Amino acid sequence: MHPGEEVGYILAGTVKMMIKDRPTLTLHPGDPFLIPPRTPQNVLDVGEETGRMLSTYIVEVGEAIASFTGA
């Protein structure tokens, strides 16, 4: 998870995006996404083409970009 918002979109492939307390999304090239701050999430590549995404993280100066939680 990230201390701030993650904003991005899918560049290539098909991915399943799992965000805590939300329905799983199946995203394709051009599809945008927004992940709220401090929300556990994961992405699974499910297409024939390698999934690629572009993300921007909006975090406070000095904050770690990510933290990992146990599954």
Q: Is residue 64 part of a domain?
A: no
Note down the domain range covering 40: 5-51
Specify the pTM.
0.80
Q: Is residue 23 part of a domain?
A: yes
Place of tokens 């051009």: 30
Q: Is residue 38 part of a domain?
A: yes
Whole-angstrom Cα distance, residue 35 to residue 55?
10
3-state secondary structure of 9: strand
Total number of domains in the chain:
1
pLDDT in tens, 11-65: 999 999 999 999 999 999 999 999 999 899 999 999 999 999 999 988 878 877 7
Tokens describing residue 68: 């990992």
